[in-house]
């Protein structure tokens, strides 16, 4: 796993730190100790809590002006071992949006179970009984750092971090009321700031992270409705916000202090090796290359330049993709990067191409969103574009746009009316009979299981027929290569049964 040794060392250091908050600052130490006493944190080694509510998919809003899509959470069970530190987040999720606008594999049929795990310097997910090592969480910090931060975003975890220090304490007046504010930096260099109410209970914790699309992002955790559970005060409502919108809103119904929390690291996670640092482009036709990954990029060669379809995830990912393209198509600049839509897993690397001098081709409706988001501060993790001072150049698509020279023709079409994103674009190569699409069709392994969002797939098939496109091969940005015939077969097999009503 990436940075595994460093993460393990940081986790060990965190567990080993002795309580030394506010050395030489009696008033600050007293405030932290008062909060620990009010919460019952000092004797708390672990905790388990459960409830119900909603969660939201960050960066997957219908468009730039929409909040993150909401899903109901019939059950959420969280177990934390503060010493290791270790975490198990086990939740069931179900469709909530009607109509199902935005990303997150909508519309969801039935319930989905998600289990996220952390123990010391290791992080992994559970997919049924399968263990999946988690290398990087999309658009967030590394999995280990992000999940460890979630522990410190609980009231008791935050106070334990403040006791470990170093921490500072100040008093502020908010709407006429005096508040105690505690600031602490964890051994992972994560900065946290918590606010206590007049009962010395934590009512808010804030931290900051860097997002490839939004820049510096504040994460807020809000706590209310504290109740006593076997001598430990715990909130009965927890709300988290990120990027200005909620990402979690749960009601807590049961809390077990000092529960037996044993989270063992599976051997497959300990033995997991990082993926190769260098990506290799795969040639699928003359002048057409796929750079593989959880989300692909497609490089298309013209006489004197290269056009790239989609810039997934992050700057690091896009740097690796650009390096792979330059090795396969040397001495030609990347002039255009076509952005299929504004979801963050497809837009996180756009700024890297702009720093290279490329023009961003996107739906015209996305341009105001990108201009506003890209103007945000980027002090936590300045990227290449921020350092370059280059001004982004956008070209907005309305309807369609043809790119052509004496070697190739490429047509960008707006896939209007799709519930996944109103600015969704697809890219057609007439000579090759290829169509590059994103998130309208992610083929499953067999025809016995439905792909997510059959309604969007049906709309995609209808658009291809209406435009009269001669398509043989479909290149999904997510998932394996497929054919238009297979896409049509899925719609025929599952019909309208999977379409959300």
Phi, psi torsion values for 146, nearest 5 degrees: -65, -40
Mean pLDDT in each 10-residue stretch from start to end of the chain (501 residues)?
Answer: 42 38 64 96 96 97 94 98 96 94 87 94 89 60 86 97 91 84 91 95 96 96 98 98 96 97 92 81 97 94 98 94 97 97 96 97 97 96 95 97 97 93 96 94 65 73 92 93 87 58 36
| Multiple choice CATH, 4-270, 1.10.260, 2.50.20, 2.60.120, 3.30.1480 | 2.50.20
Helix (H) or strand (E) holding 24: none
Predicted pLDDT of residue 155: 98
How many alpha carbons lie under 13 Å from residue 244 in its C-beta half-sphere?
10
Q: Where in the chain is the domain with CATH 3.60.15.10?
A: 282-494
pLDDT at 349: 97
- Using DSSP's 3-state secondary structure scheme, residue 194 falls into strand
Output the pLDDT for position 22: 39
Q: What's this model's pTM, rounded to 2 decimal places?
A: 0.89
Q: What is the DSSP string of 432-456?
A: TTEEEESSS----SSTTSPPS-HHH
Q: Could you tell me where in the chain the CATH 2.50.20 domains are found? A: 4-270
Does the domain spanning 282-494 belong to CATH 3.60.15.10? Answer: yes
Angle at 450 between CA 446 and CA 451, to 5 degrees: 90
Burial of 221 per CB tally in 10 Å (0-12, 13-18, 19+): buried
Q: Which is nearest to 42 in space by CA: 125, 175, 210, 156?
A: 156
């Amino acid at each position: 796993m990436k940075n595994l040794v460093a993460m393990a060392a940081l986790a060990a250091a965190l567990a080993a730190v002795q309580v030394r908050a506010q050395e030489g600052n009696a008033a600050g130490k007293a405030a932290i100790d008062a909060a620990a006493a009010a919460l019952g944190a000092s004797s708390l080694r672990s905790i388990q809590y459960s409830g119900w509510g909603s969660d939201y998919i960050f960066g997957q809003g219908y468009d730039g002006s929409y909040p993150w899509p909401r899903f109901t959470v019939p059950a959420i069970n969280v177990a934390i071992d503060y010493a290791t530190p270790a975490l198990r987040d086990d939740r069931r999720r179900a469709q909530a949006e009607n109509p199902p606008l935005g990303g997150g594999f909508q519309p969801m049929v039935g319930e989905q179970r998600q289990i996220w795990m952390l123990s010391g310097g290791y992080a992994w997910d559970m997919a049924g009984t399968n263990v999946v090592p988690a290398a990087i969480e999309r658009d967030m910090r590394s999995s280990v750092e992000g999940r460890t931060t979630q522990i410190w975003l609980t009231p008791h975890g935050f106070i334990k971090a403040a006791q470990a220090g170093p921490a500072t304490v100040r008093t502020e007046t908010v709407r006429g009321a005096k508040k105690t504010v505690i600031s602490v930096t964890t051994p992972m260099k994560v900065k946290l700031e918590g606010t206590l109410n007049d009962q010395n209970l934590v009512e808010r914790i804030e931290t900051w992270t860097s997002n490839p699309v939004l820049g510096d992002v504040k994460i807020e955790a809000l706590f209310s409705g504290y109740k006593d559970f076997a001598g430990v005060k715990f909130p009965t409502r927890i709300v988290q916000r990120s990027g200005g919108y909620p990402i979690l809103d749960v009601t807590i119904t049961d809390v077990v202090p000092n529960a037996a929390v044993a989270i063992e690291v599976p051997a497959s996670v300990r033995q997991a090796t990082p993926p190769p640092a260098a990506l290799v482009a795969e040639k699928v036709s003359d002048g057409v290359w796929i750079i593989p990954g959880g989300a692909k990029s497609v490089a298309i060669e013209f006489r004197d330049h290269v056009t790239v379809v989609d810039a997934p995830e992050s700057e690091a990912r896009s740097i690796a993709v650009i390096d792979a393209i330059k090795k396969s198509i040397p001495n030609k600049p990347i002039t255009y990067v076509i952005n299929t839509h504004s979801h963050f897993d497809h837009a996180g690397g756009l700024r890297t191409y702009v720093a290279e001098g490329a023009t961003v081709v996107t739906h015209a409706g996305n341009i105001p969103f990108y201009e506003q988001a890209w103007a945000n501060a980027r002090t936590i993790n300045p990227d290449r574009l921020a350092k370059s001072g280059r001004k982004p150049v956008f070209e907005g698509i309305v309807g369609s746009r043809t790119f052509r020279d004496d070697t190739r023709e490429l047509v960008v079409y707006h896939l209007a009316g799709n519930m996944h994103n109103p600015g969704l674009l697809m890219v057609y190569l007439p000579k090759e009979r290829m169509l590059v699409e994103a998130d309208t069709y992610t083929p499953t392994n067999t025809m016995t299981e439905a792909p997510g969002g059959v309604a969007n797939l049906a709309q995609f098939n209808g658009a291809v027929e209406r435009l009269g496109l001669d398509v043989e091969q479909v290149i999904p940005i997510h998932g394996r290569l497929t054919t238009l015939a297979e896409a049509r077969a899925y719609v025929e097999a599952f019909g309208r049964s999977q379409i959300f009503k």
